[in-house]
Chain A
Amino acid sequence: MDVSRRGLMAAAGSAPVLMTVSEALAQGVTPRRGGTLQMMLTPEPPVLQIGVNQQGPTLAAAPKIFQGLITFSPTLEPQPQLAKSWTISPDGKEYIFKLEENVKWHDGRPFTADDAVFSITKFHVELSPRARAIFTLIETCEATDPHTLRIVLKQAFQPFLLMFDPTACAIVAKHLFDGQDYRTAPAVQQLIGTGPFKFTEWQRGNFIRMDRNENYWKPGQPYLDTIIYRIIPDSQSRRLALETGQVLLSQASDIEPFDIPQLRSRPNLTVDTKGWEYFSPLSWIELNHRVKPLDDARVRRAMSMAIDRNFIINRLWFGVGKPATGPVASTTRFYDANAKIAAFNVREANALLDAAGFPRKADGTRFSLKHIPLPYGEIWTRLSEYLRQAMRQIGITLELESTDAGSWARRVGNWEYETTINFVYQFGDPTLGVARTYVSSNIQRVTFTNTGGYSNPRVDALFEEARTTPAAADRARLFSDVQKILVDEVPQIWLTELSFPTIHDKKVHNVITTGLGPSKSFDDVFIAG
């Protein structure tokens, strides 16, 4: 071990986990050019063209190739990416983005505001339901000059900027897609973006390789020569690859929660749970309100009180994540810390059920409910097994039914379930990621809508008003009101604020610097030491 490496280890050991470029410089770690960063991608995505595929693995890898107009800090403040600056008119309707001028697509053609207009008004509107819902608010979207983008909204929409990060609206090349079927265009396989890395090779089932973009618009960046995503289907092999240094970074659900304590104790690895502030996934027991007695708020409240959320976090997730306190995650904007669900109390939960008219029968049970564990891996089965025991304490029998991922989505989408587990991204703002589960206008036969069928006119009105109110302070008041109602009625039984640790070798720097965690461009990531 040479001297500089030892110095670095000492510095990194005493420093907080997160380091920005300036902090790294202050500690004497100068960004170093060169090196290959090997990571993992689980599961292997079908295509990496963002928009055509919007699943987790694509959102993690594609932002190395494609960029958005802006990105977000861990506190969800907008930061420039392809847009170097922007102004918003006082009435909140007009957005003007000034774009970077020396940006070239990987095929050498210049990037202009036309590409942005195409991406916003055509590409994502056709491909992504999430973008479609928001971008229908646009009245005009035009390029006033090659490097200026002007968007006028039909009505003020305060969370609008949150739609312009690379995972929500990656800017794609107009000349490669316009006039073609976006899903089958040749560019979907060639992947031409403006990002710091160019797509070079994909051996299915083995690895995806990206190489340094020599003509990247940020001078001197990126630092890395090559990024390789290895496809390793078995979780124990993934852990081994990280331990042996074959890969230097793991993300999302690469590593099972029960392996994290062991990895934490390894001196060369950093376990960072930050970087999920934008997505803020919140898990809950999804209740179907059409099934009696789940339409009774007292029953739902009692069920919620019977669950020890600290047990779930500490025993199942090994301390990664936070107990949920309500419908809005604490990392999402407009979270109200005063609106909290009732605390864990089995005795009161039992009393509540007695009072609601569900006395215990001779065998000690009150009623039974069917429950579909989330088929996304072992940890979710364990969670349902815990919940079954927790419900038993208040006389409710949970009968578990096994399904595969496809049938789970179909059954939840068709309302053919009694209870199940779900987790949903919040996208930084309650209008974008929270309202969809509770407003009655979104009761649809589609997953991740209000599939539970909860309906409360007051909640509908508050969410609708918050959606169109331009001032943040007014929205905060409205969202506080709605959170107070929801924690009282418990339409879904919120369990935990999930977070997925990013584990990396300490010689990899600047990994988590945004609110999008590993879904960032990696242009400032370097290996030193």
Chain B
Amino acid sequence: MKDFWRRFSRNRGAVVGLVILLLVCLVAALADVIFPGSPWDMATAPFMPPGEEGMLLGSDSLGRDVAAGIAHGSRISLMVGAVSTVAALAIGVSLGALAGYLGGWVDDAVMRFTEFFQTIPSFVFAILLVAIFTPTIGSVVFAIAVVSWPPVARVVRAEFLSLRSREFVQAAEVLGKSRLAIVVTDILPNALSPIVVLSSLMVASAILLESALSFLGLGDPNLMTWGFLIGSGRSVIRIAWWMSVFPGLAIFLTVLALNLVGEGLSDALNPRLARKRGGAA
């Protein structure tokens, strides 16, 4: 574990990313303390520029506090990112493991099924799903999970394909371990590092997807999200730039932080790759 931290912290970008990510989590956790009450409450006059009337980041077209919106929105964004990634991992890992371990016609069937999903542009597919199931937080998470599992399935399958013929797996088979036990206790732990790296990037792309859906008005209308903030600020950008700029900055920083952390994880979990790349600064 100590080794892991050493390798992770050698990538300075990853450390910066981790700090930003922790800050975002802190803001999400303390949103109710810093900005008590609902972020939908009209706190002041509309279109107050940042710094005026006690509005740190200005107010929106109804006089709502943009800063409160961003703080409360971070909860939804992180939550959507986390839940949809877990759901996508659940689908992707089980299908990938099935295909990679069993091979043969199962592999063929699962991979054709995966390709079917990969041929549909994921954002268009997500819009379609949300539009069909009416925009609620549940349908948004579902749509994001459905469009983001195929890469997981492919990565896990590739790992399983290479691991299943290794000696330790053969040994386990000879010992008479059940297939499920081999998959879960022997192969999966060894395939974990690419999954961890991939999932940090998936959280980032899920946050972006949710924001894009909310921006188009397909978010849950009862929840304050970053995409909603930008979407509602878009048409008034010439009057109130702060309405779109600050939530945009929040998305940018969070997604950047997740990507940096993902890279750091990749370095820390694959030390040989990192060294080949030139020791990662």
Interface residues of A (CB under 8 A from B): 235-236, 256, 258-259, 262, 315-316, 373, 378, 381-382, 384-386, 388-389, 392, 399-404
Q: Which residues of B contact A316 (CB under 8 A)?
A: 61-62
Closest to A261 in B: B239
B34 interface residue per 8 A CB criterion: no
Q: Which residues of A contact B235 (CB under 8 A)?
A: 235-236, 256, 258, 378
Q: Which residues of B contact A399 (CB under 8 A)?
A: 222
Interface residues of B (CB under 8 A from A): 38, 40-42, 45-47, 61-63, 131, 134-135, 217-218, 221-222, 232, 235-239
A258 and B239 contact, Cβ closer than 8 Å, known pairs A315-B46, A401-B221: yes
Q: Which residues of B contact A373 (CB under 8 A)?
A: 221
Residues B61 and A389 in contact, CB atoms below 8 Å apart? no
List 7 A-B pairs, Cβ < 8 Å: A235-B235, A259-B239, A315-B63, A373-B221, A381-B217, A389-B40, A389-B42
Given contacts A315-B62, A382-B62, A400-B222, 19 further A-B pairs with CB under 8 A are: A236-B235, A236-B238, A256-B235, A256-B236, A258-B236, A315-B45, A315-B63, A373-B221, A381-B217, A381-B221, A382-B61, A382-B232, A386-B62, A389-B38, A389-B41, A401-B221, A402-B135, A403-B134, A404-B131
The 4 lowest CB-CB distance pairs between A and B, nearest first, are: A400-B221, A402-B135, A402-B221, A400-B222
Residues B63 and A385 in contact, CB atoms below 8 Å apart? no
Interface of A is mostly: helix
Q: Which residues of B contact A262 (CB under 8 A)?
A: 239
Closest to B135 in A: A402
Q: Which residues of A contact B217 (CB under 8 A)?
A: 381, 402
Q: Which residues of A contact B237 (CB under 8 A)?
A: 236
Q: Which residues of A contact B61 (CB under 8 A)?
A: 258, 316, 382
Residues A378 and B232 in contact, CB atoms below 8 Å apart? yes
Give the shortest distance, in Å, between B11 (CB) and chain A (any CB): 42
Give the shortest distance, in Å, between A32 (CB) and chain B (any CB): 34
Q: A403 vs B221: C-alpha distance in the bound complex, in angstroms?
A: 10
Give the shortest distance, in Å, between B164 (CB) and chain A (any CB): 47
Q: Which residues of B contact A384 (CB under 8 A)?
A: 221
Q: A386 vs B232: C-alpha distance in the bound complex, in angstroms?
A: 14
Closest to B45 in A: A315
Give the shortest distance, in Å, between B248 (CB) and chain A (any CB): 17
Closest to B41 in A: A389
Closest to B219 in A: A402
Closest to A377 in B: B235
Closest to B224 in A: A385
Q: Which residues of A contact B41 (CB under 8 A)?
A: 389
Residues A388 and B134 in contact, CB atoms below 8 Å apart? no
Q: Which residues of B contact A400 (CB under 8 A)?
A: 221-222
Closest to B218 in A: A402
Closest to B223 in A: A400
Give the shortest distance, in Å, between A134 (CB) and chain B (any CB): 38
Q: A236 vs B234: C-alpha distance in the bound complex, in angstroms?
A: 10
Q: A12 vs B72: C-alpha distance in the bound complex, in angstroms?
A: 50
Residues B40 and A388 in contact, CB atoms below 8 Å apart? yes
Q: B38, B61, B232: which has the most chain A beta carbons within 10 Å?
A: B61
Q: A401 vs B41: C-alpha distance in the bound complex, in angstroms?
A: 19
Give the shortest distance, in Å, between B273 (CB) and chain A (any CB): 45
Closest to B238 in A: A236
Q: Which residues of B contact A256 (CB under 8 A)?
A: 235-236
Q: A374 vs B222: C-alpha distance in the bound complex, in angstroms?
A: 15
Q: Which residues of A contact B63 (CB under 8 A)?
A: 315
